[in-house]
Amino acid sequence: MLTPILQTDTGPLLHKAVEEAARLLKAGEIVALPTETVYGLAADAFNPAAVAKVFEAKERPSFDPLIVHLPNKKMLDEVAEVPAEIQPIIQKLVEKMWPGPLTLVLPKKASIPDIVTAGLPSVAVRMSKNAVFRRVAEALGRPIAAPSANRFGSISPTSANAVVAELDGRIPLIVDGGACLCGLESTIIKVEPGSPKPIITILRPGPITPEDLKPYGRVKHASRTVVDEATEAPGQLASHYAPRTPLRLLSSPEDFKPEPGKRYALMSYRGDASDGYVGLADWVHVQILSPGKGKLPEAAVRFFYVLRELDRLGVDEIIAEPMHEHGMGIAMMDKLRRAAVKS
């Protein structure tokens, strides 16, 4: 192991980790930090040279924009313009949803370097509710650009060990804040004027569901037909969140016919044989997202962990069961479809 890991499970250790992370960020370095969604690879968002190190460490293409995380709500005015016609709804969303896993796409101010937004005139911005991340952001006193702390296109990390597997030796520090509470990247939305209600377009589904957003406007989803080129927001590329092992997402049990000599592993939603998937093959291994009960929030927390565990098996193909496409199931199905594109 080449990258040091600092723990945060006691007061003195937390203070040391926050102090060291802030010191490195102020010096133009990059640091892996926990958020409530996944671990992020952080850089001072006002420092283009530091942000360039994020792209280099992740091997991320320059056309894929980053999310900017704020240390406080007031700093929104320093990084983004809020058009007058949507100002009331943005204010309500910030009051009710921040800190939390909701990212807003807004016109950017000149203070945000073009490298952060991939040259786009808009910036994706949110405020994390993770206590460790917030303390580091407050100590830095500046916005933090922080995409997921993994190699580009691969499985997002929800633990410090997963960051090690992806970026060990590529970055100077990992702050271990334990397992992420949500397990899925933030919901990204764009707000536009509308009558009688504003229009909220979900650019990337996540922990904040359409049902959560309906009180604030008319909710719609961005097109799923996205190619690997310049995008409107992070996480929209067609091939994304992918394991190294080929993955296939089934629509029904009848869609799967095992090939002789091939080794398969199953990502099961609830592990119930009556769903029709567990008995389809002599699986090398079955990983269950929400054992027995099929609860979407529990499945979301385990999603990237399960995908990473299956990827370690060295099988020929990972087979994924479908999930109910409502609530957080929308985000998980979106990620499985993008992971399957690589195959």
Note the pLDDT of residue 14.
98
Class of domain 247-341: alpha beta
Buried b (16+ CB within 10 A) or exposed e, 152-168: ebbbbbbbbbbbbbbbe
Band (231; pLDDT cuts 50, 70, 90): low
Give CA angle at 29 (25, 31), nearest 5°. Answer: 70
Band (236; pLDDT cuts 50, 70, 90): low
Q: Is the pLDDT of residue 241 over 90?
A: no
Percent of the chain at pLDDT above 70? 95
Q: Are 279 and 273 in contact (CB under 8 A)?
A: yes
Buried b (16+ CB within 10 A) or exposed e, 210-249: bebbeebbebeebeeebeeeebbbbbbbeebbbbebebeb
Band (226; pLDDT cuts 50, 70, 90): very low
Note the pLDDT of residue 49.
97
For 8-22, write each residue's pLDDT tens digit: 999 999 999 999 999
Note the pLDDT of residue 223.
72
Q: Is the pLDDT of residue 292 over 90?
A: no
Q: Are 194 and 217 in contact (CB under 8 A)?
A: yes
Band (93; pLDDT cuts 50, 70, 90): very high
Note the pLDDT of residue 1.
61
**Superfamily per CATH, domain 5-72+114-176:** DHBP synthase (3.90.870.10)
Q: Residue range 330-339: average pLDDT?
A: 93
Give the chain's mean pLDDT.
93
Q: Is the pLDDT of residue 227 over 50?
A: no
Q: Is the backbone peptide bond immediately before 196 cis, with ω within 30 degrees of 0?
A: yes
Alpha-carbon span 179 to 181, nearest angstrom: 6
- Cut 0.85: pTM above it: yes
Length of the chain, please? 343
Note the pLDDT of residue 142.
97
Please, what is the angle between helix 296-311 and helix 160-167, to 10°?
40
Q: Residue range 212-228: average pLDDT?
A: 80
Q: Residue range 145-158: average pLDDT?
A: 94
Taking the domains of the chain in order of start, what are their residue ranges?
A: 5-72+114-176, 247-341
Note the pLDDT of residue 224.
58
Amino acid at 172: P
For 31-72, write each residue's pLDDT tens digit: 999 999 999 999 999 999 999 999 999 999 888 899 999 999
Q: Is the pLDDT of residue 228 over 50?
A: no
Note the pLDDT of residue 237.
66
Alpha-carbon span 343 to 329, nearest angstrom: 22
